Amino acid sequence: MGQRKLFITLMRAELEDSIEGLEQLSGRLKERLEKGEITNYVFNENGALLSREISGLKSLLPFVDAVKGADYPDVYVLAQHVGDALKKKAEEWEDPEAVGEIIARKIRKILKYILELPE
Protein backbone atom coordinates (compact mmCIF):
# COMPACT_ATOMS: atom_id res chain seq x y z
CA MET A 1 0.00 0.00 0.00
CA GLY A 2 1.41 3.39 -0.97
CA GLN A 3 2.05 6.12 1.56
CA ARG A 4 -0.83 8.31 0.39
CA LYS A 5 -3.39 5.50 0.47
CA LEU A 6 -2.07 4.38 3.85
CA PHE A 7 -2.37 7.95 5.15
CA ILE A 8 -6.05 8.14 4.16
CA THR A 9 -6.80 4.70 5.63
CA LEU A 10 -5.06 5.56 8.89
CA MET A 11 -6.68 9.01 9.06
CA ARG A 12 -10.13 7.45 8.97
CA ALA A 13 -9.13 4.82 11.54
CA GLU A 14 -7.68 7.46 13.87
CA LEU A 15 -10.79 9.64 13.62
CA GLU A 16 -12.98 6.62 14.35
CA ASP A 17 -10.77 5.75 17.32
CA SER A 18 -11.09 9.30 18.63
CA ILE A 19 -14.87 9.14 18.28
CA GLU A 20 -14.93 5.84 20.16
CA GLY A 21 -12.76 7.28 22.92
CA LEU A 22 -15.01 10.31 23.31
CA GLU A 23 -18.09 8.08 23.37
CA GLN A 24 -16.51 6.01 26.15
CA LEU A 25 -15.70 9.19 28.03
CA SER A 26 -19.32 10.27 27.64
CA GLY A 27 -20.46 6.94 29.07
CA ARG A 28 -18.09 7.32 32.00
CA LEU A 29 -19.49 10.79 32.61
CA LYS A 30 -23.00 9.33 32.83
CA GLU A 31 -21.79 6.67 35.28
CA ARG A 32 -20.26 9.37 37.46
CA LEU A 33 -23.55 11.28 37.47
CA GLU A 34 -25.48 8.14 38.46
CA LYS A 35 -23.03 7.52 41.32
CA GLY A 36 -23.42 11.10 42.52
CA GLU A 37 -19.76 11.93 41.84
CA ILE A 38 -20.71 14.93 39.68
CA THR A 39 -23.66 17.30 39.54
CA ASN A 40 -26.26 17.57 36.80
CA TYR A 41 -24.71 20.88 35.81
CA VAL A 42 -21.27 19.33 35.31
CA PHE A 43 -22.81 16.39 33.47
CA ASN A 44 -24.83 18.62 31.14
CA GLU A 45 -21.96 21.01 30.38
CA ASN A 46 -19.36 18.32 29.80
CA GLY A 47 -21.82 16.03 28.05
CA ALA A 48 -22.81 18.78 25.62
CA LEU A 49 -19.18 19.50 24.81
CA LEU A 50 -18.38 15.82 24.27
CA SER A 51 -21.45 15.46 22.08
CA ARG A 52 -20.35 18.40 19.90
CA GLU A 53 -16.84 16.97 19.62
CA ILE A 54 -18.17 13.54 18.61
CA SER A 55 -20.56 15.08 16.10
CA GLY A 56 -17.79 17.25 14.68
CA LEU A 57 -15.44 14.32 14.15
CA LYS A 58 -18.20 12.17 12.64
CA SER A 59 -19.06 14.91 10.18
CA LEU A 60 -15.46 14.89 8.90
CA LEU A 61 -15.42 11.19 7.98
CA PRO A 62 -17.15 11.63 4.58
CA PHE A 63 -14.56 14.23 3.61
CA VAL A 64 -11.72 11.84 4.46
CA ASP A 65 -13.45 9.11 2.45
CA ALA A 66 -13.67 11.41 -0.58
CA VAL A 67 -9.96 12.29 -0.62
CA LYS A 68 -8.05 10.70 -3.48
CA GLY A 69 -4.41 10.19 -2.62
CA ALA A 70 -3.43 10.09 -6.28
CA ASP A 71 -4.39 13.77 -6.58
CA TYR A 72 -1.35 14.73 -4.46
CA PRO A 73 2.34 14.48 -5.35
CA ASP A 74 3.34 13.00 -1.99
CA VAL A 75 2.13 12.19 1.49
CA TYR A 76 3.36 15.53 2.87
CA VAL A 77 1.19 17.58 0.52
CA LEU A 78 -1.71 15.22 1.14
CA ALA A 79 -1.36 15.54 4.92
CA GLN A 80 -1.16 19.33 4.70
CA HIS A 81 -4.25 19.49 2.48
CA VAL A 82 -6.28 17.10 4.64
CA GLY A 83 -5.25 18.86 7.84
CA ASP A 84 -6.05 22.32 6.50
CA ALA A 85 -9.36 21.23 4.99
CA LEU A 86 -10.54 19.36 8.09
CA LYS A 87 -9.60 22.22 10.41
CA LYS A 88 -11.34 24.70 8.12
CA LYS A 89 -14.51 22.60 8.08
CA ALA A 90 -14.41 22.24 11.85
CA GLU A 91 -14.11 26.02 12.21
CA GLU A 92 -16.90 26.67 9.69
CA TRP A 93 -19.19 24.31 11.58
CA GLU A 94 -18.12 25.94 14.86
CA ASP A 95 -16.96 22.66 16.32
CA PRO A 96 -15.15 22.80 19.65
CA GLU A 97 -11.48 23.76 19.49
CA ALA A 98 -10.53 20.25 20.57
CA VAL A 99 -11.65 18.89 17.18
CA GLY A 100 -8.92 20.86 15.42
CA GLU A 101 -6.38 19.77 18.02
CA ILE A 102 -7.36 16.12 17.60
CA ILE A 103 -6.96 16.44 13.82
CA ALA A 104 -3.51 18.00 14.11
CA ARG A 105 -2.35 15.40 16.63
CA LYS A 106 -3.60 12.51 14.53
CA ILE A 107 -1.94 13.82 11.37
CA ARG A 108 1.40 14.16 13.18
CA LYS A 109 1.02 10.62 14.54
CA ILE A 110 0.17 9.15 11.13
CA LEU A 111 3.02 10.93 9.33
CA LYS A 112 5.50 9.80 11.97
CA TYR A 113 4.33 6.22 11.58
CA ILE A 114 4.38 6.27 7.77
CA LEU A 115 7.80 7.89 7.57
CA GLU A 116 9.30 5.28 9.89
CA LEU A 117 8.16 2.40 7.64
CA PRO A 118 10.84 0.82 5.50
CA GLU A 119 10.46 1.65 1.81
- Digit-coded pLDDT (tens) for 48-93: 999 999 999 999 999 999 999 999 999 999 999 999 999 999 999 9
Structural domain boundaries of the chain? 3-116
Q: What's the predicted TM-score (pTM) here?
A: 0.91
- Integer Cα distance of 102 and 115 in angstroms: 20
pLDDT at 119: 65
* Cα gap 68→45, rounded to integer Å: 38
pLDDT by residue (tens digit) across 81-108?
999 999 999 999 999 999 999 999 999 9
Residue 16: the pLDDT is 98
Interatomic CA distance for residues 91 and 78, integer angstroms: 20
